[in-house]
Chains A and B, each alone.
Chain A
Amino acid sequence: MAEHPHAPRSPRQVRDPASLLAEARPRADADAKLSGRTRYPTDRIEAGQLHAAILGSPLPHARILSVDASAAAGLPGVHAVVTAADIPGPALFGLRHVDRPALCGDRVRCIGDPIAAVAADTPEIARAALAAIRLRLEPLQVIDDALAALAPGATALHGRSNLLHQVAHRRADAAQWAAAEAACTHVVEAVYESPRQMHVCLETEGGVAEPDGAGGLVLWWGCQNPERDRQVIAAMLGLPPGRVRVVGSPVGGSYGAKDELTVQPIAALLAWKSGRAVRLHLSRPASTDLGVKRHPMRIRMRSGCDGDGRLRFHEVDILADTGAYATHGPEVLDAAAEHAVGPYDWPALSIHARLAYTNNGIAGAFRGFGAVQVQWALEQQIDRLARACGIDPLAFRQRNLSAPDAPGPLGQQVVASDGPRLALAQIARHPLWIERACNPRCDDRHRWGLGLALVHRSDGFGRGGPNGGRLALALAPDGQIELRVSLTEMGQSLPEAIRALAARHLGCAETDVRPVIGDSALAPDTGAAAASRSTTLVHRALECEGRAWIDSLTEAAAARLRTPASSLRFGPGGWSDADGRPVLGLAQLAADLVGPLPSRVIAVPPEETPSAVPGAHWVFGACAALARVRIDTWTGALRVERLVIASALGPVISPMGLLGQMEGGALMGQGLVTTEHLDMREARYLARNLDGYQVPLLADAPQIELWAIEDLMPDDPVGPRGAGEIAVNIAAPAIVNAVSAAVGMPVDRLPIAPDDILDALERHP
């Protein structure tokens, strides 16, 4: 019997944990990194460099009355002092909203907001110069809560209102809505609070800015988008973009933190004004002040299902705190609104999301991007409804999945996918699930809980975002095939993915490929290494034009050999004849060609949903997971013991890369649930280093098991989905649901502190 293309199916191509590990190959850069030979931008320490120091605002909100830097500028050993007045071009930068000053001129809007900076012979002189700057500030009303920010009469941080962005989406008119509610047997409502998580890249922001000796500037600075950094800095200095070069790789961790610029414009300005190389490397406390965080959100959800366990309506109200400047805030809110729907079918849906400016630092891009905050809330709702109906949480989810070819969360057209279904099916056959009744429940001191979660998440930017990108293929003089991208390597195995994809699409060996990454001078504008898009982008470019470019090389090889191209086969290393005898190597061709060597720039057009829903996504990947936690009822300590993840992300390009992204993302998601919240009082951080802010250590890591489902829908046009973020998205809700099951209480606030657990146990012994 012919199978209906959309009939529910079980995953067929699944990499089990052992096979992933068996195929995982070491990264090419592993030994250089492990033996300390890799030079990060912050390792470019050389004699003759000036040391930079930044004067940040001591108040979270104030008008700048005056900045007198004359005494500082006169100190011996000081080579440049800069304030907003020294910026030749536009002083503000930003993505959708251009609102963040490189240096504040008239007003400061968060603690540490930069006002002035110094470049001096030594760090001590730089600090002394900062102390000599006379600053007069007039305090303004401090807005330290998103709700208060939107109240009438609140001082506006920018323009006339603190409402930076909002999203409203409704499916069902009033009558349909009333009918949907009336059909419900169970309704759950809760307000969830998601914390201010900090990225904690081990390498804090820093690098070197230096004049290039030819009227331009070079920046060695870890980032996710060197091309954009150079455009911002060139504009700020009033230079054509070609006069600025940004080398943004390798990066000692980013996770979104280095997607938008932070203090590199200040380093550039100091180098420009002093005419000298300037080095700046933020201390951990300064990085805490100046870096972005995950958006804290307050999420109200009210959701209902009928007596058969069919979801009927879902009402969501999101209030997010974006802090002092926009950066990626609007896109984060768009993602939150879209992912609050989940992979479920809600006949009636109402989403309202608002994003408020406050003086609480700056929130921006963070792996899991806007979605993870609402996903743990949504998955709590789903679990609670399933329990109310007396249906097991897996069957309940299966029953309510949207159809593979249904419109996307906001009604937009999307690439068809049955990833959520496949991922659930994979979990359903895992022993941890099948034997759930036999799992330990409690002993005289501990309690165990098992939590299931399901998420889908978007790839790439939403509609209207910078989704296109360009990259280049080139034959190098030594015969290597160079694939040049301006994307940077942050630990995500970009070079490995490039080598594997090039070998797959071009037919060469991985060793024939040399990835050239992270340098705005060597590659066309590929856009940001962000939004889980890098692998897909490279895949699409090679799929479209890779073969054609190889064919053009084959023509050149044929001309050189005086033989018809049709008689040549391209493969690892070069060409062979019809009998498979090697006749010409890539290196030989490169050596023999006269004139410029062949190269081609491939422009990948933005792939977006054709539906006119701003910010909505086109492609989704999916994951399901099971978490088992153990609660110590004496101390409230929470231990995540196991995490079983089934990912449905298409073909596995690099087993090691996939495994690493999933394990790393999962522990970051766990951190959000267990310990990570950067608390603020009156818009000041209560912790600024790793003593007060705790991230998971080896002892906290659960046993993680990954099942990678490779099946895609027949005729899937996209290929591999990004794996860079989704583990954060899936781990957090699975662990939340496990804790909730262990203590027998809903969880409505993260992180879950031991005291919260003890409180819950007291109320529900």
Chain B
Amino acid sequence: MTPASLIEVDFTLNGQPARVRCEPTRRLLSVLREDLGLTGAKPACGIGRCGACLVWMDGKPVNACLLMACRLQGRSIETIESVGQTEQSAPVREALARAGGVQCGYCGPGLVMMLTHLYRQQPRPDAREASAQLCGQLCRCTGYGGLQRAVDLLFAD
């Protein structure tokens, strides 16, 4: 690996300045998990089909397995490590827990990131719209019964 092929990017990570040196095509998911020790986002497909790696870039949901490091310069990234601790995700986590939306839990962080994003939108989507927005979140354990109940709780009109 020649150092010349590496780039240096500065971005904001969970509100703090961050800098990484890596290949331009290195995916944000690897940067987070392996370079920065944030393992809340999970790798499950690597091709944008499951949502387990979901994070926010400038407040919008993105699949971290697809996002390349070269696109990070100056951006703001938020991950479950910060969003999962805050009040804004508390209703979402509570609804999922109460409704039975978590079993093995591997899909959980991605789900919370997506649902919290939907929950804080103004105007808030209704349950139908919210369900439609969850088409990229895969859960193999629950059969989505708990997720649907949580959505109905959160997005009741």
Contacts and interface: CB of A to CB of B under 8 A. Distances in A.
B60 interface: no
A664 interface: yes
Interface centre among B84, B105, B145 (most CB of A within 10 A): B105
Interface in A671-692: 689-691
B97 A698 contact: no
A253 B104 contact: yes
A697 interface: yes
Contacts of B98: 26
Given A36-B109, A37-B84, A698 B46 contact: no
Interface residues of chain A: helix, strand, loop or mixed (majority): loop
Given A34-B109, A43-B39, 14 more contacts: A26-B98, A30-B96, A45-B37, A122-B1, A253-B140, A284-B45, A284-B47, A493-B103, A656-B100, A663-B143, A664-B142, A667-B143, A689-B47, A697-B135
B69 interface: no
B138 interface: yes
Given A39-B39, A45-B39, A491-B104, A30 B97 contact: yes
B104 A252 contact: yes
Given A31-B97, A202-B106, A689-B47, A698 B134 contact: yes
A35 B148 contact: no
Interface string B128-156: 00011011011111111111110000000
A124 to B, nearest CB: 6
A36 B106 contact: no
Contacts of B140: 199-202, 253, 255, 664, 668, 695
Contact of B148 (A27, A690, A701): A701
Interface of B: 1, 33-34, 37, 39-47, 49-50, 52, 79-81, 84-85, 89, 93, 96-98, 100, 102-109, 111-112, 131-132, 134-135, 137-149
Contacts of B109: 33-36
Nearest to B149: A21
Interface string A245-259: 000001111110000
Nearest to A43: B39
B134 A203 contact: no
A382 B97 CA distance: 41
Given A24-B100, A26-B98, A252-B105, A695 B138 contact: yes
Interface centre among B45, B79, B109, B145 (most CB of A within 10 A): B145
Contact of A663 (B39, B45, B89, B142): B142
Contacts of B144: 663, 667, 696-698, 701
A252 B143 contact: no
Contacts of B149: 21
A669 B107 CA distance: 20
A756 interface: no
A40 interface: yes
A45 B47 CA distance: 22
Interface residues of chain B: helix, strand, loop or mixed (majority): loop
A699 B97 contact: no
B141 A283 contact: no
A202 B39 contact: no
A202 B110 CA distance: 12
A667 B147 CA distance: 13
A491 B146 CA distance: 13
Contact of B46 (A284, A493, A667): A284
A491 B141 contact: yes
7 contacts: A26-B97, A202-B138, A250-B105, A284-B45, A660-B145, A663-B143, A666-B143
Contacts of B134: 697-698
Contacts of B45: 284, 689-690
Contacts of B37: 45
B1 A124 contact: yes
Given A30-B97, A37-B84, A203 B106 contact: yes
Contacts, number: 173
B42 A202 contact: yes
Interface in A14-41: 21, 24, 26-27, 29-40
A409 interface: no
Contacts of A691: 47, 49
A203 B108 CA distance: 12
A659 interface: yes
B106 A252 contact: yes
A491 B103 contact: yes
B105 A38 contact: yes
Contacts of B39: 36, 39, 43, 45
A201 B135 CA distance: 18
B52 A202 contact: yes
A500 to B, nearest CB: 16
B140 to A, nearest CB: 5
Interface string A533-552: 00000000000000000000
Contacts of B141: 253, 491, 660, 664
Interface residues of A, number: 58
Nearest to B39: A43
A30 B102 contact: yes
Sort A-B residue pairs by CB-CB distance and give the 4 closest, nearest first. Answer: A36-B40, A33-B105, A35-B84, A491-B104
Contacts of A187: none
A699 B104 contact: no
B143 A701 contact: yes
B61 to A, nearest CB: 15
Contacts of A425: none
B146 A698 contact: no
B85 to A, nearest CB: 7
A36 B81 contact: yes
Contacts of A701: 143-145, 148
Interface in A452-492: 490-492
Contact of A203 (B46, B104, B111, B143): B104
Contacts of B106: 40, 201-203, 252-253
Contacts of B93: 30-31, 34-35
Given A35-B85, A45-B37, A659-B100, A665 B143 contact: yes
Contacts of B135: 697-699
Nearest to B147: A698
A698 B49 contact: no
A492 B103 contact: yes
Contacts of B97: 26-27, 30-31, 34
A21 B43 CA distance: 32
Interface string A107-119: 0000000000000
A203 B42 CA distance: 8
A251 B140 CA distance: 13
Contact of A284 (B34, B44, B96): B44
A124 B25 CA distance: 13
A204 interface: yes
A704 interface: yes
A33 B46 CA distance: 21
Contacts of A284: 44-47
Contacts of B84: 34-37
B131 A45 contact: no
A204 B140 CA distance: 12
Contacts of A203: 42, 44, 104, 106
Contact of B107 (A35, A124, A202, A663): A202
B105 A704 contact: no
A321 B30 CA distance: 38
A309 B148 CA distance: 42
